[in-house]
Structure 1
């Protein structure tokens, strides 16, 4: 039985409520619920409200997802609609299918 309950810290950079930003957040939440249930935190940073925060994670495109923990830090740009690409990018192994 696994004893480590590592919490995944994810940060999603957006710029307002654009279609891409809304899609990215929706997709991210869905993947997290499927593969990281109860083991994740999503911080959404709207760069229209807090533009100074883009510098810390070197954000050049919107939306951008940054995986802070567990390391290594990873970044994925776009609306996160390609689930396989997102899971591979974040190094998430799909949850085992229980029959």
Structure 2
């Protein structure tokens, strides 16, 4: 599980936003199978829908209590879209991709 710094509003996030990239933070509980599914589902989702245009931070709530408090996390797993603004939040294992896409404000995929 990746555990990068949970700094909010960092200059690296600002530069990613300028490049048109999306920045997400996924809060999980390392002891939860639902959180394990959420990590896999989120990575697959972003690789398919925003390839090369996103950054996903995965944070264990127990190890990042202050960051979770600052982001007002009340359930796990919770995905937060930090950039582009406005911030959006999705709670669950990320298995419902249409609901996830809608909640995050992403356009539907073009039919093949």
Q: Which of the five TM-score ranges fits, normalised by the shorter chain?
A: 0.7 to 0.9
Structure 1 residues without counterparts, runs of 5 or longer: none
Mapped partners of 1:64, 1:90: distance in 2: 12
Does residue 37 of structure 1 match 2:20? no
Decide whether the 8 Å contact of 1:13 with 1:47 is kept in 2: yes
Does residue 52 of structure 1 match 2:69? no
Decide whether the 8 Å contact of 1:24 with 1:78 is kept in 2: yes
Decide whether the 8 Å contact of 1:9 with 1:69 is kept in 2: yes
What TM-score, normalized by structure 1, do the two folds share? 0.88
Q: How far did residue 96 of structure 1 move?
A: 2.6
Once the two structures are overlaid, the 10-residue window that deviates more, 60-69 or 49-58, is: 49-58
Q: How far did residue 5 of structure 1 move?
A: 4.2
Mapped partners of 1:62, 1:93: distance in 2: 26
Mapped partners of 1:66, 1:47: distance in 2: 13
